[in-house]
């Protein structure tokens, strides 16, 4: 293998230009020293929030402080990721992280003070013309107020909050640090220790024995500790259920969804729409079994590639052109911003010594939305480029159209723009593919994406809902109960072409997301929105999509999506996404 180049040897045009953030390290230091002054300025409003003018100024001061922290932090971590071995860069990240968590403690009085105002005073603030701009934020706080308990009760909860975090903390210590997985033999007969990191790679092996050994190896460990994992899960879910009950929510689900003001029907109709559309997934598994020459698939036969990756080297210039052409249907305005990403050096392109691995989009308000890549030049890395550009350009439009206060979009919509770009790229490459093999690879790419993100995450969402409902009904979440329910659900989703190994019943124990309080469904709704939007864009309708990119956090996410033409209060977006999946499965069958 060739040695990676040193950062200092990279051509400058292949690296990002961080000077719009800070021209020099000294300029960063200077801003860093100003932070405490901004904290003092904000804290002078403490105890004065019932006055509309004071509250207005407090909002401004709070935003000025968090923007300053964001800018300092962004520069520090981008610089540090260029070369993770550089200790001066690392020190900057540590400094800003430590100071910002200290500031978090010093400024935590703000929301509780607003929440504790008497009803009449709070209503007056909502009506105050001075605070018109902040009405949306005040309404959000007002929604929480209904579920705020007495001062004494809140104090008890606050004091015990750390103890409530024990199940999740213990789960991650157990899962990430203490578990020891067995040794298995790889394709060449070499012994390797199974880990979270190599497990999926092993499942992708074309050697069935390797896949089976990896699967059996992982679940021998989870199965052996099933009672410990179940006890942690039971405690976690019980925390959510008890908290929701104390705060007078109808259920733990309603409590979690209230954060983004999402109707319960959105969650439930996702599950029922997926149930209605399981057949294309079952067809896909039957086709997969046939192609792999198996009577029935087992759970460890789902990840190995059906179509091998096209050995295609895409030089950077070609990748840039591909992405530009693929995203051309988004129109001229989008195209102009896209061009800036390349000409204004938003992107850090090649791999080099010490650079952080993987890819991400990151930046701060009003500054370039940077992209870190490790562009390897295969087809997958072009998809990564399109994906991260989706995030960055979404941030660019949100920032441009909104005040800092409402610029940051919510997690519910965070993966929509990135996934839309991937679907558009797949469509473009498919229309221009020269060989059957290339077409099959591209179709399979989308199929895998939908299987993993839409079907699988909805199965998780359904399991999560079951756990919370059973816990609320007083059914203890024992290992046997969780495993039996998980196995049942897994059978329903995978259909007759899959004869699952019994050990799949322990998969619930391995998934960290089950400790995150109704998080995974957002992956499923995100990809559905992207599928619906991509179809519209390809049909020449871009206005709705641009409205979405510009919306930031100016409205509730359900209304933002509705404005873009995607109505999550109906099953239509999910149906549409699953129709696209069904179409791809049919195409794959004809291609192979
Ligand atoms: Zn992403």
- 339-371 pLDDT tens trace: 999 999 999 999 999 999 899 999 999 999 999
388 C-alpha to ligand 1 centroid (Å): 6
Residue 21 lies in a domain: yes
Give the 3-state DSSP-derived string for 119-150, with helices as H, strands as E and coil as C. HHHHHHHHHCHHHHHHHHHHHHHHHHHCCCCC
Q: Whole-prediction pTM value?
A: 0.92
Separation of alpha carbons 349 and 371, rounded Å: 8
Q: In angstroms, what is the span from residue 359 Cα to ligand 1's centroid? A: 9
264 annotated active-site: no
387: enclosing H helix or E strand? helix 379-401
Q: Which residue has the higher pLDDT, 427 or 201?
A: 427
**Alpha carbon of 387 to ligand 1 centroid (Å):** 6
- Furthest CA-CA distance within the chain: 74
Say which of 82, 388, 438, 485 is annotated catalytic.
388
Boundaries of domain holding 17:
7-146
- Looking up tokens 């033999």, which residue turns up? 185
Asked if the structure places residue 50 within a domain, the reply is: yes
Q: Is residue 538 part of a domain?
A: no
E strand map for 366-457: 370-372
What is the model's pLDDT at position 58? Answer: 98
User: Which residue is it, tokens 């897994």?
Assistant: 490
Question: Residue 338 Cα, ligand 1 centroid: separation in angstroms?
Answer: 17
The total number of structural domains in the chain stands at: 1
CA 61 – ligand 1 centroid, Å: 31
**531 belongs to a structural domain:** no
Q: What is the pLDDT of residues 384-399, one digit of tens each?
A: 999 999 999 999 999 9
Is residue 280 domain-resident?
A: no
Residue 363 within any structural domain of the chain: no
**Does some domain include residue 311?**
no
Residues 546, 568: Cα–Cα separation, whole Å: 18
The enclosing H or E element of 347 equals strand 347-348
In the reported structure, the alpha carbon of residue 391 is separated from the centroid of ligand 1 by a whole-number distance in angstroms of 7
Nearest C-alpha neighbor of 169 from the set 512, 588, 582: 512
pLDDT level of residue 1 (50, 70, 90 thresholds): very low
Q: How far is the CA of 383 from the centre of ligand 1 (A)?
A: 11
Highest mean pLDDT, choosing among 100-109, 120-129, 162-171, 373-382: 120-129
- Tell me the CATH number at 41: 1.20.140.70
pLDDT of residue 166: 92
Residue 568 forms part of a structural domain: no
Find the 573 Cα to ligand 1 centroid distance in Å.
Answer: 20
299-328 average pLDDT score: 90
Helices 166-173 and 151-164 cross at an angle (nearest 10°) of 10
Residue 176: per-residue pLDDT: 86
């Amino acid at each position: 293998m060739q040695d990676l180049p040193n950062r200092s040897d990279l051509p400058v045009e292949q690296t990002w230009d961080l000077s719009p953030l800070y021209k020099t390290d000294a300029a960063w230091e200077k801003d860093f020293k100003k932070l405490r002054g901004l904290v003092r300025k904000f804290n002078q409003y403490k105890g004065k929030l019932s006055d509309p003018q004071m509250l207005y100024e407090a909002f401004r001061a709070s935003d000025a402080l968090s923007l300053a922290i964001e800018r300092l932090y962004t520069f520090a971590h981008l610089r540090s990721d260029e070369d993770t071995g550089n200790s001066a860069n690392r020190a900057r990240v540590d400094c800003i992280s430590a100071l910002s968590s200290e500031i978090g403690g010093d400024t935590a009085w703000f929301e509780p003070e607003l929440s504790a105002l008497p009803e009449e005073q709070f209503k007056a603030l909502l009506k105050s013309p001075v605070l018109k701009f902040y009405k949306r934020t005040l309404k959000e706080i007002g929604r929480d107020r209904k579920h705020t308990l007495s001062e004494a009760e809140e104090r008890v909860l606050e004091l015990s909050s750390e103890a409530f975090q024990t199940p999740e903390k213990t789960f991650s210590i157990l899962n990430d640090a203490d578990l020891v997985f067995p040794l298995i033999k790889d394709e060449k007969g070499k012994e390797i220790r199974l880990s979270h990191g190599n497990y999926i790679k092993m499942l992708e092996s074309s050697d069935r024995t390797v896949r089976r050994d990896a699967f059996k190896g992982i679940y021998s460990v989870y199965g052996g500790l099933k009672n410990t994992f179940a006890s942690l899960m039971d405690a976690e879910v019980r925390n959510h259920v008890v908290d929701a009950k104390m705060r007078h929510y109808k259920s733990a689900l309603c409590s979690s969804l209230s954060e983004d003001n999402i109707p319960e029907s959105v969650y439930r109709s996702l599950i029922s729409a997926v149930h209605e559309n399981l057949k294309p997934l079952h067809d896909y598994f039957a086709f997969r079994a046939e192609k792999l020459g198996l009577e029935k698939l087992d759970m460890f036969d789902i990840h190995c590639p059906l179509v091998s990756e096209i050995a295609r080297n895409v030089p950077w210039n070609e990748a840039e052109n591909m992405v530009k052409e693929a995203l051309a249907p988004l129109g001229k305005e989008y195209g102009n911003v896209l061009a800036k990403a390349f000409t204004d050096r938003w992107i850090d392109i090649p791999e080099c010594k010490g650079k952080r691995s993987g890819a991400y989009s990151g930046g701060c308000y009003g500054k370039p939305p940077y992209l870190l890549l490790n562009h390897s030049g295969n087809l997958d890395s072009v998809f990564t480029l399109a994906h991260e550009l989706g995030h960055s350009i979404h941030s660019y439009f949100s920032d441009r159209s909104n005040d800092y206060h409402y610029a940051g979009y919510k997690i519910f919509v965070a993966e929509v723009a990135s996934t839309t770009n991937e679907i558009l790229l797949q469509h473009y490459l498919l229309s221009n593919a020269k060989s059957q093999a290339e077409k099959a690879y591209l179709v399979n790419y989308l199929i895998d994406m939908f299987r993993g993100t839409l079907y699988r995450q909805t199965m998780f969402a359904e399991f999560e809902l079951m756990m919370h409902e059973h816990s609320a009904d007083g059914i203890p979440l024992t290992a046997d109960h969780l495993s039996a329910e998980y196995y049942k659900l897994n059978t329903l989703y995978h259909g007759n072409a899959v004869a699952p190994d019994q050990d799949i019943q322990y998969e619930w124990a391995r998934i960290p997301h089950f400790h995150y309080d109704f998080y995974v469904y957002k992956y499923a709704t995100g990809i559905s929105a992207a599928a619906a939007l991509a179809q519209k864009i390809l049909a020449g309708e871009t206005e709705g999509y641009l409205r979405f990119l510009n919306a930031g956090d100016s409205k509730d996410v359900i209304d933002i999506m509705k404005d873009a033409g995607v109505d999550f209060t109906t099953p239509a977006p999910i149906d549409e996404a699953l129709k696209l999946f069904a179409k791809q499965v049919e195409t794959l069958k004809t291609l192979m």
